[in-house]
């Protein structure tokens, strides 16, 4: 599904991503890990179109998206979450989902009607997404009044609402307690059951090792290892670069 081929990105004299190649197959959960500054989030931003690649190609379902603007990449089936929660906290939970649904809405029904939730179809879609995300009882609550873990779930729900084929999760467990991480693990596995493909950037190794099919490891912008969780855990280069040799 996702093919990264020899991509690079420089910021001044710093090679943030250096000749990176890897694939993510349809229905896979692939982890992208590495020390701080290894190029993980830059890679996510290159896939989403936040930054242009300096060289190399990114394709989704055999379509080269390397030069497409961000909104066209969303239309091609890419969605993401962020390290720092980026909800509309002064809007309700359902309105946050409504925003993501609009690319599929019938514009002839009218902006005001859709916004205030008078569309039965829109409400049904939103409720379905929120129930799946464990937020079915928070429909009318302000997003800013949710707990931290619930806000993380709402951000994931908003990413699902755009009907993606590929979801990029950028450190979704950041700031979570152990119970919230366990809940997140199950929700990521549920995404796979829905047939979605996931690229997971994460520092919480307990989550990564128990949810992914494969792992790609970066250090100083380069791929230093790729393989199953078991193989990566025992890889000497990874232990040295990422785990401090432990």
What are the residue ranges spanned by the domains of the chain? Answer: 26-52+65-77+164-246, 83-159
Q: How far apart are alpha carbons 163 and 165 in whole angstroms?
A: 7
| pLDDT per position as a tens digit, 69-109 | 998 999 889 999 988 888 999 999 999 998 888 655 544 45
pLDDT of residue 94: 93
The rounded distance, in Å, linking the Cα atoms of 124 and 105 is 13
pTM reported for the whole predicted model? 0.89
- Inter-residue contact 158 to 97 (CB < 8 Å): yes
pLDDT higher than 60, residue 57: yes
Classify domain 26-52+65-77+164-246 by CATH architecture.
3-Layer(aba) Sandwich (3.40)
Residue 185: CA atoms inside 13 Å, Cβ hemisphere, count? 15
Asked whether the CA dihedral 23, 28, 33, 38 is positive or negative, the reply is positive
149: pLDDT strictly greater than 70: yes
- Whether 242 has a pLDDT exceeding 80, the answer reads no
Is the pLDDT score of 118 beyond 80?
Answer: no
Mean pLDDT within 28-52: 95
Cα–Cα dist 181/179, whole Å: 5
pLDDT single digits (tens) 193-203? 999 999 999 99
pLDDT score recorded for residue 32:
97
């Amino acid at each position: 599904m996702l093919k990264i081929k020899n991509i690079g990105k420089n910021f001044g004299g710093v090679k943030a991503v250096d000749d990176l190649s890897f694939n993510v197959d349809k229905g896979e959960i692939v982890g992208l890990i590495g020390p701080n500054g290894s190029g993980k989030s830059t890679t996510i931003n290159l896939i989403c179109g936040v930054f242009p690649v300096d060289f190399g190609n990114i394709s989704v379902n055999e379509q080269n998206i390397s030069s497409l603007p961000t909104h066209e990449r969303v239309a091609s089936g890419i969605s993401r979450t962020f390290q720092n929660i980026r909800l509309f906290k002064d809007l309700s939970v359902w309105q946050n989902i409504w925003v993501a649904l609009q690319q599929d809405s019938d514009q002839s029904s009218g902006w005001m009607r859709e916004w205030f939730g008078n569309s039965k179809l829109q409400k049904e879609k939103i409720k379905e997404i929120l129930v799946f995300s464990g937020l079915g009882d928070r429909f009318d609550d302000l997003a800013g009044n949710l707990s931290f873990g619930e806000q993380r779930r709402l951000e994931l729900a908003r990413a699902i609402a755009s009907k993606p084929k590929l979801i990029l999760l950028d450190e979704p467990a950041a700031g979570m307690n152990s119970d919230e991480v366990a809940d997140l693990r199950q929700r990521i596995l549920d995404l796979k059951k829905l047939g979605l493909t996931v690229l997971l950037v994460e520092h919480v190794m307990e989550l990564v090792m128990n949810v992914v099919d494969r792992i790609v490891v970066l250090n100083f912008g380069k791929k230093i290892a790729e393989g199953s969780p078991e193989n990566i855990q025992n890889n000497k280069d990874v232990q040295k670069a990422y785990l401090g040799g432990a």
